[in-house]
Structure 1
Amino acid sequence: MGTAGQLIVGRYRLVRALGHGRAGLVWEGRDTLLDRPVAIREILLPPDLSETARLRLVQRISREVRQAERLRHPHIAAVHDVAEENDTPYVVTELVPSRSLDGVVSGDGPLPAAEAARIARAVLSALTHAHADGVRHGDVRPANVLLAHDGRVLLADFGVSIPATDPAFARAPETGDRGPRTYLAPERAAGGPRTVAADLWSLGATLHLAVTGRPPSVPPGPLEETPEELRAVLTGLLAREPRRRIDAETADRLLAEVEPPAPDRPVRRGPGRTRLLTGLAAGVLVACAVGGWAVLRPGGHEGRAGTGAVASPVSPSASVTSPASVTSPASGRRLKLRWHTSGAGWRAGVPRGWTREEGPYSTSWRSPDGAAAFTVEVTAQRGTDPLAALGEAEEILRPAAKSYRRFRLESVSDEHGPAADWEFAWIPRKASARDHLAKGVEYRQYRRVISTGTTTSVLTWTTPAAGWDALRPTLAKVLSLFRPA
């Protein structure tokens, strides 16, 4: 069993134990490489396992966690890594200051139908995303639904469902009527495989607990104790026969009828953390994070919703608050700028004569020769840790770039909120016509992440390294003029 202060695989430090569950201990930890807090699940394997059985079980856990690592979604607690130290596997995930749904119901009582529907829809969207990527959760239950202090709803424990059904853990004690097996679909409890339908049954059982304070009986009894507006979705999800259960689309429609309409938000949402890796080999990343990468739902193109470019020139007397590397003397002359006001509410000073390009989740301006670009992405994502976001971006970029050189990666002062800058150079491993990148040419990029109370902004400036100094004064001005929504 681990101890506070222990360093796992030379990287993850155990800080303090947070709780003990069926599979072992959950620790608050620290990723010493990226200097960020993490949650570390120490999986305590049954001591009487043979060496062959232990190796097989560790391999299964590692394989499951690796599958879960690729999931990037606003309602999924991110899975970062799996490691093994002294024959014990450790699963490293996002640390979410939160209360579990289980704990909230135990302490405060059942939830109103509308609030329970809101939470269930968030969990359903996480499951739908995972299912589309070929990943099944296998252990959906109230203890794994986290109600974060910042308002997010997150489904946790992707990748660690094995202890819920594996015979090796069969002697581990349940917790009253709320143990893991209580929320397994009937076919799963009978030894069946993880399936989409089984995850949906477990979601129904979780919703039942949320509104009644108790899990459903198996087979489910009459639902008179449940709120009338939720009976249709509960009946559909808790059908004993998998083929008779409603699908995710039907469940979402029924839950949406109960959930109160969300207020209009001025900033669009994007489609998930995976899309923030778009253009990784090219180095044109538009990335942000909440304890990792930003996780955003699909949305429209903000620029097409009314991004009128204001023709009035940017005042040359505006203050410049830029980092040293961009404000140092350079031979280039600053380009003339103009204001661009987005329909989503943010404002940027952009070079005159550069062509605006609307991407699925961002707006870019490209120089006449196509070599240089300035990209803005503003997302309705709060709670971002800018430095941690860029640190993770760097870790992902390194193996995908040739001759990578970092010039800075640091927190900076910004009047709008916490911010960090990352400046680096790299050579693309292959050409990209879409991003106007040539093979064998060195490029340089400056990226700033700004976190406000309600949004995260990512500003990305990319040029060939040979033209960096000439455009540096323009970069300095562009950074100083940006105004989030």
Structure 2
Amino acid sequence: MGTPGQLVVRRYRLVRALGQGGMGMVWEGHDTLLDRPVAVKEVLVPPRLDSRQRLQMLQRTSREARTAARLNHRTIVGVYDVAEEDGHPWIIMELVPSRSLDRVLASEGPLSVTRAATIASEVLTALSVAHTAGVVHRDVKPANILIGYDGRVVLSDFGIATSLGDPYAQRSGTVGSPGFVAPERLDGAPAAPEGDLWSLGATLFATVVGRPPHDNSMGPLASLLTQDAELARVPEELRPVLTGLLAKDPAKRMSAAQAKALLEPLRSPCPTPAPSGPRFVARTRMLAGVAAAAALAVAVGGWAILRPSDAAAPTSGGTSAAGSPAAPTSGQTVGGTASAAPAPARLRLRWYDAEAGWKAGVPRGWRLTVRDGRHTWAAPTGTAYLEVQVGDARGRTPLDLLEETERSLAASVRKYRKVRLEKAPAGTASPSPATAGTGGGRQAADWESTWTGPGYHSWAVKGVPYHELRRVIVTGGRASVIDWVTTGPEWERLRPTLTAILKYYHPPAART
């Protein structure tokens, strides 16, 4: 077992032990090469194992690290490196100053509905990212959910996670922790996303009741017979989502998107602070260096650190300027009313009025992050994003700006393919009253592409295909950048929403 001060593979110094679990010891460490704090997981090898079994364990550890490293999202603990020293495997991870949810419950008791819904919603985001990448966690439970001191919620320990279709992992006898394992997994069914959702439901139940949704002495399957009585213990607001997540039949279990829709209205309105950890700082410095050539190129490139789980956007108030469409109110959609039948896959929009003078229709229920002037809305499922930023055009045309951006960014993603890069009809950008009538003073261009993650967006998942449209609108010397990104399968389904967003965007007034 490691000791404080020990230097692992001549690079990672152990500082102090943070805790021990069934898979090993976790240390606070320091990366002496990059001069940053890290978490170091020492995988403990049982002494009874022979050489063949030790080799198998090392292979499993490497597979765990590869699986977790595929997932790059603020709700998932990042994996930096995997190393071996003296026959012991070590996994180097992001250090998240936090307490695990089980420790929070042990010290504070059951949590409020608002706090529990916030935590569960964040974990749902993490699971959506993992499932989109074809990874199943298999051990969702309070001990593997970290509550950061800055409010961040993180899903950790993909120690028994498996990639869908991995035959070795599917044969593994490890199914998870008692009390939080889906009934079909106990019956020998292979790991699947539906099992993670059941485990999340059991975790949410424990968060507000203080224990899993059954008495362990009865056994999980027997206790399912008393599910109605168990659900009577939880607050009424959470019963619909728990009924759906804890459905015994995985085919009838609530989906992640359905659960997210029920949890979002219940979650805390308090913002979750953006992380300031090593990955964030390193990436920010790297992107800033690329963008140094021109401030607007940063805007066009969309090099923001996108945080889908940050605080919800404030609802803009006030009245619209004369001649502009009235701001959508509750029950209205941009360009229509509640009584009108919505177009297929057309998400409901609401107005957002920015202090910088622009105005946009944005999807209801998407969460807003504002950083360095970039406004980013993220779908609850983590499969679609909208970003808007305004900057100085510096005399360049929209096409010039996009061509410059393509040269900078195309090489930073995998399997890049340019669909089109061309001028767009200026009339497609609806003018605000302040810019109406400028005629030839308004120009627009589009850059549409497909690529595979990871890439210049921090939320992009390795191996997942994305489709992106970036529109630049120049009015009165100011450039508006509208960036729309979805996973490949979502592109056509959400196209009507993109069309509406572009149609109803109002650029800021020209500078005088």
Shift in CA distance, 366/86, structure 1 to aligned 2, threshold 3 Å: farther
SS at match of 1:68: helix
Residues 152 and 272, structure 2, Cα contact 8 Å, conserved in 1: no
Residues 160 and 174, structure 2, Cα contact 8 Å, conserved in 1: no
**Structure 1 CA distance for aligned equivalents of residues 121 and 238 of structure 2:** 12
User: Which amino acid is 1:198 matched to?
Assistant: G
SS at match of 1:14: strand
Match of 2:30 in 1: 30
Offset at 1:305?
A: 4.2
- Range that drifts further, 119-128 or 238-247: 238-247
Gaps of 5+ in 1: 171-178, 288-292, 310-342, 349-358, 374-395, 398-432, 435-485
How is 1:4-83 mapped onto 2 (pairs within 5 angstroms)?
4-83=4-83
Offset at 1:55?
A: 2.0
Q: Is 1:307 the equivalent of 2:304?
A: no
TM-score (norm 1): 0.55
Match of 1:452 in 2: none
Q: Alignment length, in residue pairs?
A: 312
How is 1:271-282 mapped onto 2 (pairs within 5 angstroms)?
none
Shift in CA distance, 67/247, structure 1 to aligned 2, threshold 3 Å: same
Question: Deviation digits for residues 62-88 of structure 1, max 9, x if unmatched?
Answer: 123212213222222222222221221
How is 1:191-210 mapped onto 2 (pairs within 5 angstroms)?
191-210=188-207
User: Which amino acid is 2:201 matched to?
Assistant: G
Question: Deviation digits for residues 13-36 of structure 1, max 9, x if unmatched?
Answer: 111111111011111111112211
Shift in CA distance, 169/71, structure 1 to aligned 2, threshold 3 Å: closer
What is the percentage of aligned positions where both structures have the same residue? Answer: 46
Question: Deviation digits for residues 97-126 of structure 1, max 9, x if unmatched?
Answer: 211110111111101122111110011111
**Structure 2 CA distance for aligned equivalents of residues 361 and 71 of structure 1:** 25
Q: Is 1:183 the equivalent of 2:180?
A: yes
**Structure 2 CA distance for aligned equivalents of residues 187 and 47 of structure 1:** 33
Question: Deviation digits for residues 195-248 of structure 1, max 9, x if unmatched?
Answer: 110110110111111011111222333221111221121121112221121100
**Structure 1 CA distance for aligned equivalents of residues 371 and 17 of structure 2:** 43
**Structure 2 CA distance for aligned equivalents of residues 192 and 344 of structure 1:** 43
Q: Is 1:247 the equivalent of 2:255?
A: yes
Match of 2:489 in 1: none
**Structure 1 CA distance for aligned equivalents of residues 128 and 373 of structure 2:** 35
User: Which amino acid is 1:236 matched to?
Assistant: G
User: Which amino acid is 1:33 matched to?
Assistant: L
Question: Deviation digits for residues 407-433 of structure 1, max 9, x if unmatched?
Answer: xxxxxxxxxxxxxxxxxxxxxxxxxx9
**Structure 1 CA distance for aligned equivalents of residues 135 and 239 of structure 2:** 28
Offset at 1:89?
A: 1.3
Residues 113 and 227, structure 1, Cα contact 8 Å, conserved in 2: yes
Match of 1:94 in 2: 94
**Structure 1 CA distance for aligned equivalents of residues 391 and 352 of structure 2:** 10
**Structure 1 CA distance for aligned equivalents of residues 272 and 19 of structure 2:** 37
Offset at 1:96?
A: 1.5
SS at match of 1:49: coil
**Structure 2 CA distance for aligned equivalents of residues 213 and 30 of structure 1:** 35
SS at match of 1:229: helix
Residues 121 and 260, structure 2, Cα contact 8 Å, conserved in 1: yes
**Structure 2 CA distance for aligned equivalents of residues 257 and 148 of structure 1:** 22
Match of 2:244 in 1: 236
User: Which amino acid is 1:184 matched to?
Assistant: V
**Structure 1 CA distance for aligned equivalents of residues 93 and 371 of structure 2:** 34
**Structure 2 CA distance for aligned equivalents of residues 182 and 226 of structure 1:** 17
**Structure 2 CA distance for aligned equivalents of residues 141 and 266 of structure 1:** 24
Q: Is 1:141 the equivalent of 2:138?
A: no
Shift in CA distance, 366/9, structure 1 to aligned 2, threshold 3 Å: farther
SS at match of 1:129: helix
Gaps of 5+ in 2: 163-168, 215-219, 293-297, 314-350, 359-368, 375-385, 402-410, 413-445, 448-512
**Structure 2 CA distance for aligned equivalents of residues 83 and 235 of structure 1:** 43
Shift in CA distance, 264/307, structure 1 to aligned 2, threshold 3 Å: farther
Match of 2:457 in 1: none
Offset at 1:257?
A: 3.8
**Structure 2 CA distance for aligned equivalents of residues 265 and 161 of structure 1:** 27
**Structure 2 CA distance for aligned equivalents of residues 168 and 228 of structure 1:** 37
User: Which amino acid is 2:84 matched to?
Assistant: E
Pick the aligned partner of 2:308 from 293, 297, 305. 297
**Structure 1 CA distance for aligned equivalents of residues 17 and 98 of structure 2:** 15
SS at match of 2:136: coil
User: Which amino acid is 1:118 matched to?
Assistant: T
Shift in CA distance, 26/369, structure 1 to aligned 2, threshold 3 Å: same
User: Which amino acid is 1:93 matched to?
Assistant: M
User: Which amino acid is 1:205 matched to?
Assistant: A
Offset at 1:304?
A: 8.8
**Structure 2 CA distance for aligned equivalents of residues 263 and 14 of structure 1:** 35
User: Which amino acid is 1:131 matched to?
Assistant: H
Residues 150 and 273, structure 2, Cα contact 8 Å, conserved in 1: no
